[in-house]
Copies of this chain bind each other. A is one copy, B any other.
Amino acid sequence: MRGSPDLITIPARRGKAARVKAGQVVTVINTHGQQVVDTWAFAAGDLGEFMSMEHSRAAMRKIVPEVDDTFVTNRRRPILEVIEDTTPGVHDTLLAACDSYRYVQLGAAGYHDNCTDNLAAAMRELGVAAPTTPAPLNLFMNIPIVDGRRLDFQPPVSRPGQYIAFRAAMDLIIAFSACPQDLLPINGVDCRPTEAHFTVV
């Protein structure tokens, strides 16, 4: 996987998007093991239709997906099916993408890279604009639920090179952000965001 000529880099603290045809497989690799990758998918024909966490949780009847679960759009159509996951299966569907407002609240001085702006920039590279920032699928993000109610923010439990793979159920645009969060340990206890990689084959 790591040596594949098809490997596309999601640079540290940055976003990257790609066009995917129905039936193709998107594999997201946690190259260094501790990087959260915010993930979005938009219907190629209408960016107003997109992978929706709140619709997918209802469809899957789960908070966290497993192999054979299928994410759906805000129109409840299948968009991404989980076909393989070599990580321990810890991902987050609950939390918003980080944004400029978040980093102001966390006390960041000046502009801080953020997943919301990274999504917009990644889409711009493809010549398109998302009409909104949907709630993301936060791959490799470890947000345990305590006592059935409270959320804890913990470092990822994945190891370098572990990956999760999805089959596209429609033509779509996939977009990623290597989360630039360095004020909380969600990208590892070192708070040092890294690159990640993906393939579309």
Contact = CB atoms under 8 A, between A and B. Distances in A.
A64 B105 contact: no
Contacts of A5: none
Nearest to A72: B101
- Chain A: number of interface residues, binned into ranges: 20 to 34
B96 A63 contact: no
A96 B145 contact: no
A62 B54 CA distance: 16
Interface in A84-108: 94-96, 99, 101-102, 105
A57 interface: yes
B149 A54 contact: no
A126 interface: no
A135 interface: yes
Interface in A156-192: none
Given A75-B101, A76-B101, A135-B54, A64 B149 contact: yes
A90 to B, nearest CB: 10
A149 B62 contact: yes
A66 B149 CA distance: 10
A53 B99 CA distance: 15
A64 B102 CA distance: 21
Nearest to A66: B149
